[in-house]
A and B are shown apart, each in its own frame.
Chain A
Amino acid sequence: MLDSKSHPNRLGIWGWLGGGRWGVERYLYTLHRLTGLGLLAYFLLHIVVTSGRAFSAAAWTRAMSQVSGPFFKVGEYLVFLAFCFHAINGIRLGLVELGFAVGKPIEPVYPYRTSVDVQRPLALAALAVAFVLAVIGTISMWSD
């Protein structure tokens, strides 16, 4: 690399969101990462809480009573919403990353139609399925 007194300009996490002039897939990308981190945090908490059962039945009952308040109910609901999005969007990403739904190489003629436009119906369908799943889950979670 050249030896110059250059100034660092990497966007870092801010680059996930950019300047707000981006397409829907960038926000799906960011949401996929955030929901993934949320689900990971939930799994870690889940393992810690449920591992109490290994010590005694009383420890298990105590742990369960600690996570039964409305705060945790809302938390569980958010985990469920994150799951709906992450699972369905993950299937879309699996398909796209295996080269399905992005189209074949074409001669670029202006105005360019990119693979992002080609896979857009799949992205919208994935969002619709995630939404339907979330509605069904919401009804069954909050109706009792």
Chain B
Amino acid sequence: MSTKFENISYRIRRFDPERDTAPHWEEYRVPYTPGMTVLEGLWKVKELHSPTLAWRSSCRMGVCGSCGMLINGKPRLACNTQIAELSSDTVVVAPLPNFDIVRDLVPELAPMFASHQALMPYVIREDVEEREHPTNEFFQSAHELEHYLQFTYCIKCGCCMAACPTFATDALYSGPMPLGQAHRYNSDTRDGGFAARKQMLVGEPGPWRCHYAGECSRVCPKGVDPAKAIQLMKRELVFDYLGLHKTKCPANVAGKPTDGKRRDNIPEAPPHTV
């Protein structure tokens, strides 16, 4: 889009549960400034036209994951999307599909978090005492970290769930975010929860409903690639079925260093200022 525009149109899907029986579209004109994000435009709409407009946002820097919306037909973060990159002078904003609408652009994400929780997205170990009250860190090499690091960048914005065609027709399917996060923990060498999670991955909620439309990975604003995680998880489950799954014992606790010496070329910390 040429940045010569002075004004920009916002077409917004509105829904007020107290008044409306179904969502409807409303259009607003707001002043455009170069570099403006979709989120900044929404603030302008609220300020100039409709103070009741509701959405979620917090960090405005693509970190908290609360501003996922359907923007010009694609699930994206409003704070992470510049109007200039949409190549249109009309910004069409709707709530993320595949989630119920609470109000205007606010989706009901609770079912997604329920599926996420059901797949136990945390380190599971038999030495519960060590896990809850760690005495030291667990051994993990940089190479082992690479097996799951990419999947830790997930901010749970729900864009992948909104883009997934399987989740669009099957409410029982866990969806890309919860499954990707289950794989993140399955492939963490500190974790021993593969067998427990496997029980939850049987049938409809599990990864077998994914047939690689790849949309979750394409829309993910953090490059997490949930589709990759799901396919790698399927491989692990098939290997497990064939008895070929490498059962790694959860990483051991590293012993406290005993012979550590401070190097003499490290200067002392400056004195406290407050």
Chain A residues proximal to chain B, CB less than 8 Å: 1-2, 4-16, 18-23, 25-26, 28-30, 32-33, 93, 96-99, 102-110, 112, 114-116, 119
Picked from B15, B218, B225, the residue with its CB within 8 Å of the CB of A7 is B15
B150 and A105 contact, CB distance less than 8 A: yes
State whether the Cβ of B147 lies closer than 8 Å to any Cβ in chain A: yes
**If A1-B114, A15-B165, A98-B235 touch, does A23 touch B218 (CB 8 Å cutoff)?**
yes
A2 and B110 contact, CB distance less than 8 A: yes
- A residues within 8 A CB of B111? 1
State whether the Cβ of B17 lies closer than 8 Å to any Cβ in chain A: yes
What is the minimal beta-carbon distance from A78 to any residue of chain B, in angstroms? 22
> Can you pick out 8 interface pairs between chain A and chain B where the beta carbons lie within 8 Å of each other?
A6-B100, A7-B23, A7-B101, A25-B212, A25-B215, A93-B211, A96-B231, A116-B218
**If A105-B150, A114-B228, A115-B217 touch, does A21 touch B108 (CB 8 Å cutoff)?**
no
**If A16-B169, A25-B213, A26-B213 touch, does A5 touch B17 (CB 8 Å cutoff)?**
yes
Max count, chain B CB within 10 A of own CB: residue among A15, A18, A32? A15
Q: Which 9 A-B pairs have the closest CB atoms?
A: A15-B168, A108-B223, A99-B235, A112-B223, A6-B100, A19-B73, A115-B228, A116-B214, A29-B213
State whether the Cβ of B93 lies closer than 8 Å to any Cβ in chain A: no
State whether the Cβ of B118 lies closer than 8 Å to any Cβ in chain A: no
B215 and A26 contact, CB distance less than 8 A: yes
What is the minimal beta-carbon distance from A98 to any residue of chain B, in angstroms? 5
State whether the Cβ of B77 lies closer than 8 Å to any Cβ in chain A: no
Give the CA-CA distance A119 to B211 in the complex, in Å.
13
Max count, chain A CB within 10 A of own CB: residue among B18, B210, B211? B211
- A residues within 8 A CB of B211? 29, 32-33, 93, 97
